[in-house]
Amino acid sequence: MAEHPGLFVTFEGGEGAGKSTQIRRLADRLRRAGHDVLVTREPGGSPGAEAVRHVLLSGAAEEFGVRMEAMLFAAARNDHVEEVIRPALESGAIVLCDRFIDSSRVYQGVTGNLETDFIEALQRVAIDRVVPDCTLILDLPAETGLGRARRRAADAAPDRFEREEIETHEKRREAYLEIAEAEPQRCRVVNAERAEDEIADEVYAIIEPLINRSGAPEPTETENAE
Ligand SMILES: Nc1ncnc2c1ncn2[C@@H]1O[C@H](COP(=O)(O)OP(=O)(O)OP(=O)(O)O)[C@@H](O)[C@H]1O
Ligand SMILES: [Mg+2]
């Protein structure tokens, strides 16, 4: 049970899966329906976390090893949670976050070969009970996602994570699907190989029913009484 009146939704999946696209579309739709929506992203989302994002994505921390990277991600996440996400949820907003704990589990945990206990301990400290109410895992073959991401940034150099082998990207896809299987209450897998519109409709159909349950004020009994 959430400890706040807001709704916390995270978007996960590999590079080019369509997370940013779908967040933008869902945010527009929810705002048009009159909801208070906050869009944010990881790594980053708050000034402290954005500073760390730069270090992580440039690859500057890579030479210090995956433990160092994982701890930097956790430091950034804690700043983001305490400065941005928790206050928004406490004010009753719908928070849409581009990547969150599952990215750490998949990127640092699975393909970085870090022990699960270490990752989970870091997560506990980083999020301090701010667990997503719903996580949408946008699923598609690594090749398709990377192709999309490369077309999008034809002239930009690939970042630290995009440079890795296709096989690594496929392992991450499997890891996301395992998380979804282990936590079916929180996670929903969305087939991201389809047209943007079709995906957007499914995403909305998953999230919309969660809104009232998340604590948005319902009419009181007395108001309803005849
Ligand atoms: N369903 C879709 N079909 C085809 N192309 C798409 C679809 N969704 C998004 N795209 C395009 O693919 C590219 C990547 O999409 P987007 O940036 O939303 O992915 P992402 O998951 O946020 O990627 P990253 O992890 O790199 O941030 C963009 O150019 C976008 O316009
Ligand atoms: Mg994106």
Give the ligand with the smallest distance to the CA of 22.
1
pLDDT digits (tens, 9 = 90+) for 135-193: 999 999 998 998 888 887 666 666 666 666 788 889 999 999 999 999 999 999 999 99
Q: List the domain boundaries for the chain.
A: 7-213
Q: Is 14 annotated as a binding residue?
A: yes
For residue 162, give the H/E element and its range.
Answer: none
Ligand 2 centroid distance, CA of 170 (Å): 18
pLDDT digits (tens, 9 = 90+) for 27-86: 999 999 999 999 999 989 999 999 998 999 898 888 998 899 889 999 999 999 999 999
pTM over 0.85? The answer is yes
Residue with CA closest to ligand 1 atom 9: 18
Ligand 2 centroid distance, CA of 17 (Å): 8
The three-state secondary structure class of 134 is strand
Q: Is 142 annotated as a binding residue?
A: no
Q: Does the Cβ of 15 fall within 6 Å of ligand 1?
A: yes
Which amino acid would we find at residue 87?
P
Ligand 1 centroid distance, CA of 198 (Å): 14
Separation CA 98–CA 20 (nearest Å): 7
The three-state secondary structure class of 124 is helix
Q: What pairs with residue 37 in β-bridges?
A: 94
Dmax over Cα atoms in the chain, in whole Å?
69
Give the ligand with the smallest distance to the CA of 169.
1
Angle at CA 83, nearest 5°, toward 74 and 87?
120
- Give the fold, CATH level 3, of 7-213: Rossmann fold (3.40.50)
Q: Does the Cβ of 17 fall within 6 Å of ligand 1?
A: yes
